[in-house]
Structure formats: structure tokens, C-alpha cells
């Protein structure tokens, strides 16, 4: 029971450069009373939590975040920028991240140049002081130049130490800032100010590079929001006027001229033109749009004027939902990432303990020189920082999510990417997935009456149906100017057909199996059905009071790239199977042309059972249309909804494919595998460099400045390696260009029907 004091709160936090920064923000607020469900999204700079304001006020949350060196502002307010560092003005930005007027509109204000940020100025300032100290050695006595290095160290170290002690006050003493403070201060104490000053400078450079890299990754997501134009040409009576695109309402009509971007998700009212959807879905070929066709916000009209009816407000258009999905996906962390987070919490204190032993044991037990072993211990502290390890997974995941979003391949977080990379079997629904989902009537065979009467009865039963076969029958009747018969008591027969009462008789439009159950499938009629099904057609039988009146054959053509998609999956070592409720002969004809295994005549519950059987032995990805296949999608390890930006495709399954391309299925798996390979490389870089330099540091081969260079270098290498995923292409051409990959020679029957 609550009194309304508990609510979800959201802020924008600026200055976060890596996963460690997000962890610091999370740690600073989750210890406060009345705080729960803390979620910090690095790329979208979002802090979301559940807050009981009777125990902790929102102002206290903001004070805690500011106290550790980050900027924070409530959602929708002018985002502030964090202060702190070397000669910081009030508007400085830590990490190269600019503020924006709105919490969810970071694109409004461009990032400042690196030298205009707090960390950039710290690098320039500490670098200048270090250069002056080195210059002083040439013209001044050693005692004076010694103090020049001390001053350079202290000035560069002050902002770092301030952040370190702020983190310690909120219960997080083991941070890179604290290790830096201890190491640099210790170097001054043992008389190594030159190395201390160099270490501080290199640390500042590393922090700056982290900020620049994070900014580049963040900009790839921000670029999506820039696709939607700021204004729209709204029709008002017989005139048009320019209005803000975000102010458009559902039902209004806008005009889009050739060369303009579409300002909203909508439906073409009049006009015929090619529309370039590549900014949204990655589809390189413009698609012809005619009256009744759907268009996406951000796509580009290429040929002629289009009048478009708004179907979604700005906050709910495809671009907005993609951005929202990518932002929310950051919270769905991969199991590998969660493991590394847990590991780093143990690893950091262990390194501090090891450094203490290195400093104390050799002098006490073996009579070693105190200064030498303390120096080695300080270097060990810097080497042991887990920054590169902590960022190794989220950096790769974020880059993969961003790349996928740009190419119409959406995955809801690191857990989905990791699961997709392990997929061994792909299960396809047939209708709307391997086929276009728009069957057309090919044959009408009349047993009683005439063709017009038969189609009128069938259209009357199917009038208003959502199933593709029913819509095709209604479309065929409309094309022949046949009005549907007036029907009452209409109802669907799941997996079998539909029925209604027309002129006092029960009219059923159903599968041959349903006709057989009702005793209406004669041997002659069965032979007709088998002949049509052998041609890959789906047959429905029209019954009047369980007496066959005729049959209607329909064919749903396979997508042009379906066979190639199956061949690509085979090349990846992945088995494919098609599940369908259609009859065995039709399913066999489609499957044979695609080179895929199949199971037919499945009810919805049969599909779920089939997937559950597969998941017991394999890692299964299910591809469906996102509506009728929801139970099957949920039963698979990874459920992928295929559909051009539908609500369900974006919001139900684990992943979604925006382009109606079956080849995007292997593309999505390749992207997931590339991301996991990138993660393994990052972990190897982070741990490998540390292992090497831990040994060389303890042996006295490398010193402080090499230690910080190794730590910074590992972090930068990991970040840059993760950013490579931003340029990943999952097309067939890209696949064939990869080392060790050869063209496949599968017989795929690529003839387009």
C-alpha cells in the first residue's frame, strides 16, 4: 500500500564515458534509502529509478550524482554539464558530451571539440606544465626542476583526487581515480616526481580518448533521431502551412515533395512515387509507394508529390521506437557482462591486496629496498585497474545494437545478442515470413451454382477477416465486382477456417481437413484438392450445411531471397525448418523450392510443441510475423518478429527485422557472432596486456609510466576494437569478403515464381 510517494523518476546524466562511469552513478544512488530498480544507460545518458520521496528527495539524488563529478538534470529540463577538472568554466563538459535542451533530444546541441571539454583542457594544461617542467631541467638547477615536476603532478592530480574521495565517501573506494591518486602521491613521496607527472598526463590523455570514443558511439545512435525532419507541410483546407513535425496529430494530411524526408509514419492518400527507406531500414532500393501504402518517418521521397495521412504521433513513429528500443536494450545486459561485473568487484580489491604484499613482503622477509618495492607496488596498482575489462562487453554490445538499428536489425540487448550468436537451428513460419504473406486466388472450381455465387458466399464469411487467405478471397471477389453475401454469427475456427450464417444456412470456408471431419470430402473432391496442392497451392472448400459447394485455390509466392537465406544459414552451419499450418503437399512444394525441411498441418499449439522439442537439444531462433506466432516466438531461445516496422515487430519478440528480407536472418546471426567475437577479442586484450605487465612490473622491468600507458592503451584498444562493429556489414558480399569464407554451391532453386 502506498500514498503516492513512490514513483518512477528519470534524469539525464552527462559525463559518462564507459561502463565504469555508469557503475559509479549506479553505486552513488542505489545506496540511498527509498531507491530501487536503478537503471543507468551509458549511451542514452539516462538514469531511471523507482524513488520513495518520503525517504529520499529527487534533489538528494541529483546532489549525489553531482558529488561524484557528473552532470544531472531531470528528464525534459535543460541538461547541465558536470564541473571539475583543470581550470573548468561553468559550461565545461566532462567526456566530450554536450548537453541538450531535452533529456531525450541530445542531438539538439552538437558535441564540442575535444579541446573545449574539461578533460581536453586538463590534457592541455597538464601537458603544458609537464613540458615546462622538462624545459626547466635544461636551464635550472635540479632542485628547482624537481619542484616543477611536483607542481605539475599536483595540479593535474587535484581533480582526479577530488573524484576519488567523492567516490570513497559513497562507499566505492576501489576506483581508478583512487588508484591513480595513491600511485602518483606515492611516487612523489619516494622521490619520483618526473614519473608522477608523466603518469598524471597519460591518465588524462586516456580519459580524454575514452570520452571521444564514447561520443562517437553515442553519435551513431543520435544520428537516428536526426532522420526525421523538424517541420512538415500540413494541409489546412486548400492551403498548406509549415508546422513542427512533432505537433502532427493522427489523421492529418501532410504533403511531401520530391527530395523531402517524410515527417511522420503514415499512409499514402494520393500520389505514386519511389521512396528511399534506407535511412530507416537499410534497404538500398527505393520502394514504390501508391495510395494505401505505409511510409516511415525519415524515409526520402524521390520522385513525385505524395499526400500522406498521419497514422502515428512523433513520439510513437518508427524512428522514435527504434531509438527507444536501442536505449532500453542497454539495460538487458549479456550474461558475459554480468559475470565480468561480478569478477571486477572481487578483482579490484585483490589487486590492491597484492600491491600491498609486493610493497611489504620483499623488504620485510627478504631485505629488499623499501623504495624499490613500493615503486613496483604503485605500478602494480595502475596495471591492475579493470577499466578495460569492464568496458570490453558493453562497448561491443552498444556498437552492435547501433549497427543493427541502422540496418533494420533490432535486438533487445546484450542477452539477445549472446543467445543469437549461439543459435544452431532456425525455425521459420511460412506465411508472411518465407512467403510474402499476400496470397492470391489462382483457381475457383464450382460444384454447385456459379463462380459469382461461390465467391459471394466465401467473401461473406471472410468479410473483415485478418487472415491473409481470407483477405485474398475478399480481394478476388472485389476485383470481380462481386458483393459479399450478408452474413451473421461469424466466427473463426482456429487452424481450420471460418464460418457464418448466410440466408439461414451455415456457410463454412475451411481446409480440406475440416471438410473431411464434416464428411464433405468425396474421393473426387479429394483428387481435385491433391492436384492443386501438388502445385504448391493452398485449397479451401466452401461448405453449405456441410455440403461442398466448390473450392478455391490460392498461392502465396515465396520471397525472392528465401532460398538464398536458407543457403546462407547452411553455410553458417545452421539447420533450418519451416513450420506451417498449411497442408503437407503445399508445404512440401514450397519447401522443396527453398531447400528447407518442413513440418505441415500444425495447429498453433503444435508449433509451440515442435519448438519446445527442438530447444531441448539445440539453440533455436524462431522467425515469425510477430502477431500470429507470438506463442512460438516466446518458446524459442530467440524470437524474431519479421515485419516492416509494425508495433508487434518492434515490441513483442526478442528481436525484429524491419526489412522484409529473409536474408536478414543470417545477417542478424552474423552480426551477433561478430559482436561476441569482438567481445572475446576485447577480453583477451584487457587480460592479456595486464598479465604481461603485471609480471614485468613485479620483476622491475616496467615502471609507473609504462603501467599507466598499458592501462590506458588497453582501454583505448578495447574501445577502438568495439567501434569497428559500427562499420560491420552483414550482407552476402561482406560475408564472402571475410577471410576463410567461400561462396556456397548449394542448389537453391532460386527461380522466382
Is residue 198 helix, strand or coil?
A: helix
Active site residue: 429, 556, 664, 711, which one? 429
Contacts of 242 (CB under 8 A, 6+ apart): 231, 232, 233, 234
> Are the CB atoms for 310 and 248 separated by under 8 Å?
yes
For the record, the C-alpha cell of 573 comes out as 552451419
Q: Which residue has the cell 571521444?
A: 212
Closest-CA residue to 176 (of 190, 161, 187, 194): 161
CA distance 217 to 281: 19
CA distance 370 to 57: 50
Closest-CA residue to 276 (of 292, 294, 298, 254): 298
CA distance 538 to 513: 12
Neighbours of 447 (CB within 10 A): 16
CA distance 95 to 14: 8
Handedness of CA 532, 533, 538, 541 (dihedral sign): positive
- C-alpha distances (whole Å) from 62 to each of 79, 106, 381 are 12, 19, 31
- C-alpha distances (whole Å) from 495 to each of 163, 525, 604 are 64, 21, 7
Inter-helix orientation angle 19-30/142-169, to 10° = 50
Indicate if 429 belongs to the active site.
Answer: yes
Length of the chain as a residue count: 753
Closest-CA residue to 48 (of 101, 79, 10): 10
Positions marked active-site: 429
Amino acid at each position: 500500500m502506498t500514498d503516492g510517494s513512490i514513483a518512477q523518476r528519470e534524469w539525464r546524466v552527462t559525463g559518462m564515458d564507459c561502463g565504469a562511469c555508469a557503475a559509479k552513478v549506479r553505486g552513488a544512488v542505489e545506496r540511498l534509502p527509498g531507491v530501487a530498480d536503478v537503471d543507468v544507460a551509458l549511451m542514452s545518458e539516462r538514469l531511471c529509478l523507482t524513488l520513495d520521496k518520503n525517504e529520499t528527495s529527487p534533489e538528494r539524488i541529483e546532489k549525489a550524482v553531482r558529488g561524484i563529478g557528473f552532470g544531472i538534470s531531470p528528464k525534459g529540463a535543460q541538461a547541465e554539464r558536470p564541473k571539475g577538472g583543470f581550470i573548468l568554466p561553468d559550461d565545461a563538459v566532462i567526456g566530450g558530451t554536450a548537453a541538450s535542451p531535452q533529456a531525450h533530444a541530445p542531438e539538439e546541441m552538437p558535441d564540442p571539440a575535444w579541446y573545449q571539454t574539461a578533460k581536453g583542457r586538463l590534457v592541455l594544461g597538464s601537458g603544458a606544465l609537464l613540458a615546462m617542467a622538462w624545459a626547466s631541467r635544461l636551464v635550472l638547477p635540479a632542485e628547482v626542476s624537481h619542484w616543477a615536476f611536483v607542481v605539475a603532478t599536483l595540479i593535474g592530480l587535484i581533480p582526479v583526487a577530488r573524484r576519488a574521495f567523492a567516490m570513497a565517501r559513497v562507499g566505492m573506494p576501489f576506483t581508478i581515480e583512487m588508484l591513480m591518486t595513491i600511485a602518483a602521491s606515492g611516487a612523489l613521496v619516494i622521490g619520483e616526481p618526473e614519473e608522477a607527472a608523466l603518469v598524471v598526463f597519460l591518465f588524462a590523455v586516456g580519459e580524454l580518448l575514452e570520452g571521444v570514443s564514447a561520443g562517437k558511439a553515442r553519435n551513431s545512435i543520435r544520428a537516428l533521431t536526426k532522420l526525421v525532419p523538424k517541420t512538415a507541410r500540413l494541409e489546412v483546407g486548400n492551403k498548406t502551412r509549415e508546422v513542427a513535425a512533432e505537433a502532427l496529430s493522427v489523421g492529418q494530411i501532410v504533403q511531401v515533395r520530391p527530395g523531402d524526408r517524410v515527417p511522420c509514419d503514415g499512409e499514402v492518400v494520393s500520389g505514386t512515387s519511389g521512396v528511399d527507406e534506407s535511412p530507416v531500414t537499410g534497404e538500398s532500393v527505393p520502394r514504390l509507394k501508391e495510395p494505401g501504402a505505409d511510409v516511415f518517418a525519415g524515409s526520402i521521397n524521390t520522385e513525385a508529390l505524395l499526400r500522406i495521412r498521419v497514422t502515428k504521433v512523433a513520439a510513437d513513429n518508427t524512428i522514435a521506437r527504434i531509438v527507444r528500443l536501442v536505449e532500453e536494450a542497454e539495460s538487458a545486459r549479456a550474461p558475459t557482462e554480468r559475470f565480468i561485473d561480478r569478477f571486477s568487484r572481487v578483482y579490484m580489491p585483490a589487486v590492491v591486496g597484492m600491491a600491498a604484499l609486493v610493497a611489504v613482503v620483499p623488504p620485510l622477509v627478504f631485505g629488499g629496498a623499501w623504495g624499490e618495492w613500493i615503486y613496483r607496488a604503485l605500478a602494480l596498482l595502475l596495471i591492475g585497474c579493470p577499466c578495460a575489462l569492464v568496458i570490453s562487453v558493453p562497448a561491443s554490445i552498444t556498437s552492435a545494437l547501433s549497427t543493427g538499428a541502422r540496418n533494420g536489425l533490432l535486438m533487445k540487448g546484450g542477452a539477445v545478442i549472446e543467445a543469437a550468436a549461439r543459435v544452431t537451428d532456425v525455425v521459420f513460419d511460412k506465411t508472411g515470413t518465407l512467403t510474402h504473406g499476400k496470397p492470391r486466388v489462382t483457381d475457383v472450381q464450382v460444384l454447385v451454382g456459379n463462380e459469382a455465387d461461390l465467391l459471394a458466399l466465401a467473401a461473406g464469411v471472410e468479410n473483415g477477416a485478418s487472415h491473409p487467405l481470407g483477405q485474398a478471397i475478399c480481394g478476388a471477389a472485389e476485383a470481380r465486382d462481386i458483393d459479399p453475401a450478408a452474413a451473421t454469427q461469424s466466427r473463426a475456427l482456429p487452424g481450420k477456417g471460418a464460418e457464418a450464417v448466410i440466408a439461414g444456412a451455415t456457410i463454412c470456408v475451411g481446409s480440406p481437413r475440416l471438410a473431411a471431419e464434416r464428411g464433405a470430402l468425396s474421393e473426387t473432391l479429394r483428387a481435385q484438392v491433391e492436384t492443386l496442392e501438388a502445385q504448391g497451392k493452398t485449397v479451401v472448400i466452401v461448405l453449405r450445411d456441410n455440403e461442398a459447394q466448390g473450392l478455391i485455390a490460392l498461392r502465396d509466392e515465396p520471397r525472392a531471397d528465401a532460398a538464398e537465406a536458407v543457403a546462407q544459414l547452411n553455410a553458417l552451419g545452421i539447420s533450418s525448418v519451416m513450420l506451417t499450418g498449411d497442408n503437407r503437399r503445399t508445404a512440401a512444394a514450397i519447401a522443396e523450392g527453398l531447400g528447407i525441411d518442413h513440418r505441415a498441418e500444425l495447429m498453433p499449439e503444435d508449433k509451440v510443441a515442435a519448438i519446445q522439442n527442438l530447444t531441448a537439444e539445440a539453440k533455436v531462433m524462431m522467425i515469425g510475423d510477430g502477431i500470429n506466432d507470438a506463442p512460438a516466438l516466446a518458446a524459442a531461445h530467440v524470437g524474431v518478429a519479421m515485419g516492416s516496422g509494425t508495433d508487434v515487430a518492434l515490441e513483442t519478440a526478442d528481436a525484429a527485422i524491419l526489412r522484409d528480407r529473409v536474408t536478414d536472418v543470417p545477417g542478424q546471426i552474423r552480426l551477433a557472432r561478430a559482436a561476441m567475437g569482438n567481445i572475446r577479442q576485447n577480453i583477451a586484450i584487457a587480460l592479456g596486456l595486464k598479465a604481461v605487465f603485471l609480471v614485468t612490473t613485479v620483476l622491475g622491468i616496467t615502471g609507473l609510466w609504462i603501467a599507466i600507458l598499458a592501462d590506458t592503451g588497453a582501454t583505448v584498444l578495447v574501445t577502438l576494437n568495439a567501434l569497428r562493429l559500427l562499420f560491420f556489414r552483414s550482407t552476402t558480399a561482406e560475408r564472402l569478403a571475410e577471410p576463410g569464407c567461400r561462396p556456397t554451391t548449394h542448389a537453391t532453386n532460386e527461380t522466382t515464381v
